[in-house]
Structure 1
Amino acid sequence: MPSRRSILKSALTGLIVAPFVAPSVTFAKAPFAVVQAPGYYRLKIGSVEVTALSDGTVALPLAKLYTNTSEHDAQNALKDAFLPDMVPTSVNAFLVNTGERLVLIDAGTGGYLGASLGKLVSNIEASGYKVGDIDDVILTHIHTDHSGGLMSNGKRTFPNATLRVNEREAKFWLSSANAMTATGTVKQHFGEADQCVTPYVKAGKFETFADNAAPVPGLGSILYAGHTPGHSAITLESESQKIVFWGDITHGDILQFDEPGVAIEFDIDQKAAVAARNTAFKQAVEGKYLVAGAHIAFPGIGHVREDSKNYDWLPINYA
């Protein structure tokens, strides 16, 4: 009977003598990963934590949408900034943790504007929070790219949050008489406002705030009417630091800084929107505070300074 030693010796001899045969399986090169990392960026304003949140990007023909300029001139300005004809345009929201309450500023697009958007909830969760943690949602205005994410599958996305909107903004968009007389895209926006905002009204989770008033303790507002009737920036100050969440003062971070007089088709009142932008730019330069834009390349936070052409956008330095 062969011993354990002889069996092992035979096995080892076989391994040494037998020729090496390469495996027949060939491995493919690494596939493309495709997706970006979760879209959130954190910073402190004094003792308050601010988290910028990406809802995604949407490709827009901005040169065709800008007004008070020619498409040719707008396109050249964008090309000089290495931007394509269809400009990837960020949709940003911002989460403010004061230590006492968790406040979301703007709610993204939800399922309204395509698969490249609607990422807000997943990015809230990736950043370490849950939708049920949010105490308040403040809208800079009620356009669908700011309010569409309020509802998910027929239910309020933020079940414990009170929705807060400037009172003249609410009066305009929740008016059935205004909805009846609206046309085109604006009429569509009225329908979507009803779908997204009204459920919070019916649930008793809706409150309005006056012009330039505090939506919640610790946050203020500045009426910058024009883009919509009650379009309002939201302000935060803590320990001598300040940030102003602009909403739609600009669309993009190129043309309208050099040419503040350029409006966009989405403005309800283009003349008033231009005036509001000039005021917002001037105040940001004088105050030297951070601003956060809903449609400035993510995370959309930076400073405004004057330059030889008018104004310049300086993105926050990564930290």
Structure 2
Amino acid sequence: MALTRRHALAGAAALAAAPLMPGLPAKAAAPIAGKQNASFYRYKVGDAEVTVISDGATTFPLGDSFVLNAKKDEVNAALEKAFRPRDKMTINFGPLVINTGGKLVVVDTGNGPAAFASSKGAVGQFASNMTAAGIDPKAIDVVVISHFHGDHVNGLLTADNQLAFPNAEVLVPAVEWKYWMDDGEMSRASGDRMVGLFKNNRRVFETGLNKKVTPYEWGKEVAPGMLAVESIGHTPGHTSYVLSSGADKVFIQSDVTNDPDLFARNPGWHLMFDQDPAQAEITRRKVYDMIAAEKLSVQGFHYPFPGLAHLEKDGSGYRWIPAPWKPVI
């Protein structure tokens, strides 16, 4: 039977009257859980198996300078268009574990255990969610770092500053390594954020890892089937990756954009965390034009979990389309 307007209105009237009708007392079958299940999601790229492991998400008030070249009202309008609340931002974090068949590879490591404690578990979930996914950190062969921001490198160390992946080779972009380990660059750093980044990177890589890293170059494989791609602007050595297996590919974009509802829709907007915002915009447009033209899947570190999507051109920006959840791999 076709649903007519009369049927719909009759149903709405019945629902409106329902609170007035007597009913039996409600009995809760179980207490409210109050928390999510462990968050990880798997998909295949050819023969490679990708596990997206949530490091959690952070929510903070939307300030006037989160987008450097747009007014707060414009940013709020973009949030509302995406059916999100005004005046606050929620940023997700999604490290990866890739089983290439021959290697078990971590791509970026999340905010780390100190952030888990200070955020009361909101972020820094990578280690516990990885365990829930059945992955032993001692089994990781390679850790690939895209750039040296804390939400990507802090998880290299445990809560007691030991190696989180004791048997893994740590690969870092050569350009990024040169910049952050340069004493001259560190001496010229200004502002609390940049000074703090230099200090944190020295803590992680000098004190924690004792500089036991392997720098890698763009245009070369960092793991089987995983090509390092220059995508600078967010940082001087920011790197993305193309993971290929057979005829399948996914573009692992790292931080080419932050939140896609803002920066994919509005690629000309400049994020406060981009070290060179103008260069980051050039990179963003170049990368997203390529992804849209080639119809590649894209894996976004800061996309809403699990972060796998497609992109298409939409006016002056791009529309991101989340990949459908697959209950089987």
TM class by smaller structure: 0.7 to 0.9
RMSD: 1.7
Q: What amino acid maps onto 2:107 in structure 1?
A: I
Report the CA distance between 1:201 and its aligned residue. Answer: 4.9
User: Is the 8 Å Cα contact of residues 250 and 277 (structure 1) preserved in structure 2?
Assistant: yes
The equivalent of 1:48 in structure 2 is 48
The equivalent of 1:110 in structure 2 is 112
1:94 aligns with 2:96: yes
The correspondence for 1:315, drawn from 313, 317, 322, is: 322
Aligned partners of 2:173 and 2:153: how far apart in 1?
Answer: 13
Q: What amino acid maps onto 1:67 in structure 2?
A: L
Aligned partners of 1:277 and 1:62: how far apart in 2?
Answer: 22
1:36 aligns with 2:36: yes
1:263 aligns with 2:270: yes
Unaligned 5+ runs, structure 1: 1-26
After TM superposition, list the pairs within 5 Å mapping 1:1-319 onto structure 2: 30-62=30-62, 64=64, 65-84=66-85, 85-113=87-115, 114-115=119-120, 116-152=122-158, 153-183=160-190, 184-199=192-207, 201-202=209-210, 204=212, 206-319=213-326
Runs of 4+ in 1 over 4 A off after TM superposition: none
TM-score by length of structure 1 reads 0.87
Where 1:277 maps in the other structure, the secondary structure is: helix
Where 1:34 maps in the other structure, the secondary structure is: coil
User: Is the 8 Å Cα contact of residues 173 and 238 (structure 2) preserved in structure 1?
Assistant: yes
CA displacement, residues 208-257 of structure 1 (integer Å, 9 cap, x when unaligned): 11122222332101101000000000221011100111111111121212
User: Is the 8 Å Cα contact of residues 103 and 224 (structure 2) preserved in structure 1?
Assistant: no
Where 1:215 maps in the other structure, the secondary structure is: strand
The equivalent of 1:12 in structure 2 is none
CA displacement, residues 119-150 of structure 1 (integer Å, 9 cap, x when unaligned): 00111111111111111111111100100111
Aligned partners of 2:207 and 2:133: how far apart in 1?
Answer: 27
Aligned residues: 292
Aligned partners of 1:213 and 1:272: how far apart in 2?
Answer: 22
Q: Using a 3 Å threshold, how does the CA distance of structure 1 residues 286 and 28 change in structure 2: closer, same or farther?
A: closer
CA displacement, residues 145-192 of structure 1 (integer Å, 9 cap, x when unaligned): 100111111101111111111100011112222222212111101111
Where 2:223 maps in the other structure, the secondary structure is: coil
User: Is the 8 Å Cα contact of residues 163 and 200 (structure 1) preserved in structure 2?
Assistant: no
Unaligned 5+ runs, structure 2: 1-26
Which of 95-104 and 71-80 deviates more? 71-80
Aligned partners of 1:28 and 1:259: how far apart in 2?
Answer: 46
